[in-house]
Amino acid sequence: MSREDSGPGGARHGLAVAGLVLGVLGAGCACLPFLGVGVLPLMLAAPVLSALGLALSFAGRARGLWIAGLGFSALGLVVSLA
């Protein structure tokens, strides 16, 4: 772990990674017909983590991760509910 990721900023960066990973997993699993609606908890947790991290992000260093997490979770929600 680098010096930049330690401390309070590193925790916000961790939320960004968690939101992105949940969004990607949820969007990928939503495409599978037998998992469809079953991934809704992932799809609901991903935007919450991403939005929370975006609100806590003051430096803007991990802003791309937050936006990607929100985008993938929105895509997964649309695919799973369609």
Dihedrals phi, psi of 6, to nearest 5 degrees: -85, 160
Q: Position 75: which residue type?
A: L
**How is residue 13 written in tokens?**
């960066």
pLDDT digits (tens, 9 = 90+) for 60-76: 666 777 888 888 888 87
Within 8 A by CB and 6+ apart from 49, the residues are 15, 18, 19, 22, 69
pLDDT digits (tens, 9 = 90+) for 13-69: 788 788 888 888 888 887 777 776 777 787 788 888 888 877 777 666 667 778 888
Distances (CA, A) of 3 to 9, 10, 18, 50, 69: 10, 9, 20, 23, 24
Question: What pTM was estimated for this model as a whole?
Answer: 0.70
